[in-house]
Amino acid sequence: MSELVLVIDDNEGVRTALSILFSVHELECVTAASIEEGLAKLDNHPVRLVVQDMNFSEDTTSGKEGIALFHEIRQRHPDLPVILLTAWTHLETAVDLVRAGAADYLAKPWDDDKLIATARNLLELGEANQERREAAAARQRDRERLENGYDLCGTVFESSAMRELITVAVRVAPSDVPILVTGPNGAGKEKFADIVHANSSVASGPFVKVNVGALPRDLMEAELFGAEAGAYTGAQKTRIGRFEAADGGTLFLDEIGNLSLDGQAKLLRVLQTGEFERLGSSSTRKVTVRVVSATNADLRSAVANGEFREDLYYRLNVIEIPVPALRDRPDDILPLAYHFLDAAKSFDSGAEDSLLAHAWSGNVRELENTIRRASLLSQGDAITAADLGIAERGLHSSAVGRGSEPDAESIIHALDLAGGVVARAARNLGMSRQALYRRMEKFGIQK
Ligand SMILES: Nc1ncnc2c1ncn2[C@@H]1O[C@H](COP(=O)(O)OP(=O)(O)OP(=O)(O)O)[C@@H](O)[C@H]1O
Ligand SMILES: [Mg+2]
């Protein structure tokens, strides 16, 4: 069925000869004696290739009818291959139509071998095109299903990697299993936490976000689990922890790799039983909290080093969503860039090329900052490669290294360049302010 050839020719001898020829070569063939019959068969059969005559009335030889038929077929089926059979006297018309999109022409009387070879080539090509179109249509359907069926929190994506991860995220969102989002700085981990909460069964409950790396480790425990007045120096009044605040909703634990071992033990217990105590209290509290955690650290090696509890690791990553670095999903670069750009502006082709060529060690956050900066600096409506300024910053960020963490020297350099403003230095390094603070602490760098 997939290889159906439609022959449209008013000459019965031609129809018979071609039917036999195609069937000998195991190509299914239907024939039509007139333009009307041909178009009707085209509507009713899964035709993959048309072989058509140019004249359909005994007294005409102008080829006009054939031209009209060809245009009619083109209009109905823009990609269907058409071979024209034409008299020697009308080769010029045929050549014109090939320019207009006919697949090929053969002069009558035709050469059987040549006709079969041409037909086979076109059928193969048509099949490949068809498969490509179907795959593209399937991708488009998946995308629409995601966009129409779920709240994707404004997430921009084009790559199949992201489409697949988003599919996983919305599929696991309604359950209560813990989710671990991993991936490099600024890749969009928090976006996935947003998607999970927005599509969960607790979407109308609280959504509490805690950056576990933002506070010293001992204060973090009070932050998460709460503390009674006087539980530690400086704790004047009772403090409600984030677990209590997130009861009946979602708790997003960002940079989970920074949790102290004590905190990890407590977290494991809440995950297992929903129970915990405030610091300085012996009364046990119980909550129902969906936990989504994120890290850009390699938790597996932290487990191997004894810095992260193995049992907690397995508890947290029942479902892991590994967000790829931006350079590993180049299809997302331009859609994201246009998303961050003012609607009134655009990129010229040089700018698009340099966006695609850049390594984006700071991932989507670096891209977002680059575009916002260029929008402000550019004079005209079209942003140029020079406006983006990523060539020079590319050199600078090569000190950071592709995907690796900046070393002490590049942090000091970035701080110098930023006049000691940590937020600015962090932006240029493509990392969060907290992450830079932690690196500074690690290397003993004062600003
Ligand atoms: N696919 C996306 N569509 C739209 N915006 C995005 C997308 N991915 C990331 N962003 C934006 O890029 C910025 C960084 O993303 P996000 O904070 O989610 O990254 P992250 O992986 O959590 O970063 P970090 O490692 O620093 O915590 C945010 O402003 C976010 O809104
Ligand atoms: Mg984050």
Which of 37-51, 178-192, 427-441 has the least mean pLDDT? 427-441
Count how many residues are written for the chain.
447
Q: Of 322, 344, 371, which residue sits at a domain end?
A: 322
Is the CB of residue 348 less than 8 Å from the CB of residue 382?
A: yes
The band of 146, judged by pLDDT with boundaries at 50, 70 and 90, is very high
Distance 414 CA to ligand 2 centre (A): 21
Average pLDDT score over residue span 2-22: 92
Distances, alpha carbon 389 to alpha carbons 100, 372, 373, in Å: 44, 12, 9
> Is 155 a domain residue?
no
> Is 94 a domain residue?
yes
Which stretch of DSSP H or E encloses residue 21? helix 12-24
What pLDDT is stored for residue 399 in this prediction?
37
Average pLDDT score over residue span 228-257: 90
Here the CATH number for the domain that contains residue 82 is 3.40.50.2300
In 148-288, which ranges are E strands? 179-182, 207-211, 249-254, 275-277, 284-286
> Is 374 a domain residue?
yes
Here the CATH number for the domain that contains residue 279 is 3.40.50.300
Cα(252)–Cα(275) distance, rounded to whole angstroms?
18
Residues 349 and 283 grouped into a single domain: no
Residue nearest to atom 29 of ligand 1 (CA): 365
- Whose CA is closest to 107, among 120, 89, 123, 122? 89
The band of 393, judged by pLDDT with boundaries at 50, 70 and 90, is very low
> Is the alpha carbon torsion for 301, 305, 310, 313 positive or negative?
negative
The band of 400, judged by pLDDT with boundaries at 50, 70 and 90, is very low
Is the CB of residue 439 less than 8 Å from the CB of residue 432?
A: no
Substitution candidate for ligand 1 out of 185, 299, 365 with most atoms within 8 A of CB: 365
Residue 366 sits in which domain range?
Answer: 327-443
Residues 204 and 317 grouped into a single domain: yes
In eight-state DSSP terms, residue 279 is B
Is the CB of residue 74 less than 8 Å from the CB of residue 99?
A: no
Which of 129-143, 185-199, 341-355 has the least mean pLDDT? 129-143
Q: What is the domain count for the chain?
A: 3
Residues 317 and 367 grouped into a single domain: no
pLDDT value at 161 more than 80: yes
Instruction: Please give the order of strands across the beta sheet that includes 289-295.
Output: 207-211, 249-254, 289-295, 179-182, 319-322
pLDDT per position as a tens digit, 371-389: 999 998 888 889 999 999 8
Average pLDDT score over residue span 140-159: 94
Residues 231 and 84 grouped into a single domain: no
Q: Of 322, 355, 371, which residue sits at a domain end?
A: 322
What pLDDT is stored for residue 422 in this prediction?
79
Cα(113)–Cα(406) distance, rounded to whole angstroms?
66
Residues 174 and 188 grouped into a single domain: yes
> Is 166 a domain residue?
yes
pLDDT per position as a tens digit, 23-47: 999 999 999 999 999 999 999 999 9
* Nearest atom (ligand 1) to Cα of 156: 3
Here the CATH number for the domain that contains residue 428 is 1.10.8.60
Give me the percent of the chain exceeding a pLDDT of 70: 95
* Nearest atom (ligand 1) to Cα of 368: 12
What pLDDT is stored for residue 131 in this prediction?
86
Q: Phi, psi (5° rounding) for residue 207? A: -125, 105
What pLDDT is stored for residue 192 in this prediction?
98
> Is 332 a domain residue?
yes
Residues 28 and 100 grouped into a single domain: yes
* Nearest atom (ligand 1) to Cα of 157: 1
Distance 418 CA to ligand 2 centre (A): 22
Amino acid, single-letter form, for residue 90: H
> Is 50 a domain residue?
yes
Q: Which ligand is nearest to the CA of 369?
A: 1
Residues 302 and 203 grouped into a single domain: yes
Angle ∠(309,310,311) on CA atoms, nearest 5: 95
Q: Of 287, 322, 357, which residue sits at a domain end?
A: 322
Place of tokens 């959504």: 207
Amino acid, single-letter form, for residue 367: L
Distance 295 CA to ligand 2 centre (A): 8
Distance 264 CA to ligand 2 centre (A): 20
> Is 144 a domain residue?
no
Give me the percent of the chain exceeding a pLDDT of 90: 67
Write down the mean pLDDT value for the chain. Answer: 89
- Burial profile 110-137: b = 16 or more Cβ within 10 angstroms, e = fewer: beeeebbebbeebbeebeeeeeeeeeee
pLDDT per position as a tens digit, 74-84: 999 988 999 99
Residues 251 and 396 grouped into a single domain: no
Distance 195 CA to ligand 2 centre (A): 14
- Residues linked to residue 180 through DSSP beta bridges, in sequence order: 293, 320
Residues 196 and 307 grouped into a single domain: yes
pTM: 0.70
Q: Which ligand is nearest to the CA of 189?
A: 1
Residues 318 and 336 grouped into a single domain: no
> Is 9 a domain residue?
yes
Distance 339 CA to ligand 2 centre (A): 19
Cα(311)–Cα(308) distance, rounded to whole angstroms?
9
Distance 444 CA to ligand 1 centre (A): 28
The band of 336, judged by pLDDT with boundaries at 50, 70 and 90, is very high
Query: Which structure tokens are listed for 18?
Result: 């071609």
Distance 218 CA to ligand 2 centre (A): 21
Cα(429)–Cα(388) distance, rounded to whole angstroms?
16
In 104-183, which ranges are E strands? 104-107, 179-182
Substitution candidate for ligand 1 out of 185, 364, 368 with most atoms within 8 A of CB: 364
* Nearest atom (ligand 1) to Cα of 254: 27
What pLDDT is stored for residue 90 in this prediction?
79
Residues 91 and 187 grouped into a single domain: no
* Nearest atom (ligand 1) to Cα of 431: 26
Cα(406)–Cα(99) distance, rounded to whole angstroms?
57
Residue nearest to atom 23 of ligand 1 (CA): 186
Q: Provide residues with CB under 6 Å of ligand 1.
A: 154-157, 183, 185-191, 254, 296, 336, 339, 364-365, 368, 432
Residues 430 and 302 grouped into a single domain: no
Substitution candidate for ligand 1 out of 191, 196, 369, 436 with most atoms within 8 A of CB: 191
Cα(115)–Cα(176) distance, rounded to whole angstroms?
63
